[in-house]
Structure 1
Amino acid sequence: MGARLQPGGGLSNRRARRRSAQPMSEINVTPMVDVMLVLLIIFMVTAPLLTVGVDVESKGALPKVELPKTEAGPVEPEKAPLSITVDPQGKIFLQNTEIGFDELVPKLTAIREAGGGSKVWVRGDKDTPYGNVAKVLARIGQAGFPVTIVTDQADQP
């Protein structure tokens, strides 16, 4: 039957109890984070299982839908684009036929009015001065055509 005495007497035990009886000023958020992570996992697992769509009754038959009426005609296939080539000497070729610089706008206007191509592809040789190609592009714009410049794909390293 031994008794154990702490140094300082029983007074220090009372002070320790009073300090521990004070309310904690910190909130432990670990349980809340655990619950939130569990909810997140539940939503991530169940979200792909939800499907949105039209309920179809009677053995997979499609629901009856009345489509609107229209008077639009069939879509015509797009016409082949015109090709204009400018070589290094400054010669201009319209669909493989050499033409003069001054003939470009009248010929393109005639083609457009006759219902010809709707686009123009410009092919300029890499050694052709840009000024020559820029003049051709300006003339094509005067004729009222949208322009696409044709290039080769660069070599991959």
Structure 2
Amino acid sequence: MQIQNESQPYDTINITPMLDLAYVLLVIFILMTTAGVQGLTMNLPKPSSKPSTEQHEVKIVQIQESGGMLMNGVGVSLAELETHLSATKARDPKFAVMIKGDAKAPYAGVIAVVDLVTRLEIENVGLVTAKIGS
């Protein structure tokens, strides 16, 4: 058995830990760049240069926690809502309907109103949302 002299410096450098670090950094770089590329591609409408001076009616349909519906604060049934929306569309074809569902409202009520608006072919429809905590 031969004993090496401890006073001699090492003539090789162990690069295994450095390569491990390089591979980990390479994997992190690849993951982060591909995560930044993913997403939805959307063609958003561009605002016109002049403001619109047209005034159209807005109907706010609220679905309550109990399942009841309000149109502009007045209680209505689904049949009455259909009658009111049809009459409003006859007067103003470009009127808007805003659907506002209570957080604890049955989802079927919101779907029923969306189906009604689709059947009546009302084009300007929106869902009213609120910030969390307000």
| Shorter-chain TM-score range | 0.5 to 0.7
Query: Contact conserved, 2:59 with 2:97, CA < 8 A, in 1?
Result: yes
Pairs aligned (count): 81
Q: 1:80 to 1:106 in 2, by over 3 A?
A: closer
Matching residue of 1:118? 95
Find the counterpart in structure 1 of residue 106 from structure 2: 129
Q: 1:139 corresponds to which residue?
A: 116
Map residues 1-157 of structure 1 onto 2, 5 A cutoff. Answer: 76-115=53-92, 118-145=95-122, 146-154=124-132
Kindly state the Cα deviation for residue 116 of structure 1 after the two structures are TM-superposed. Answer: 6.9
Distance change >3 Å, CA 80–CA 103, structure 1 → 2? closer
> For the Cα contact (< 8 Å) 2:63–2:69, is it kept in 1?
yes
Q: Gapped runs of 5+ residues in structure 1? A: 1-74
Larger Rg: 1
Partner of 1:66 in structure 2? none
Larger RCO (CA under 8 A, 6+ residues apart): 2
Cα distance in 2, alignment partners of residues 117 and 84 from structure 1: 17
**Identity rate of aligned residues, in percent?**
19
Q: TM-score normalised to the size of structure 1?
A: 0.47
In angstroms, what is the RMSD of aligned CA positions?
A: 1.9
Give secondary structure in 2 for the equivalent of 1:137: helix
Contact 1:141–1:147 (8 Å) recurs in 2: no
Q: Distance in 2 between matches of 1:121 and 1:102?
A: 18
What TM-score do you get using the length of structure 2 for normalisation? 0.54
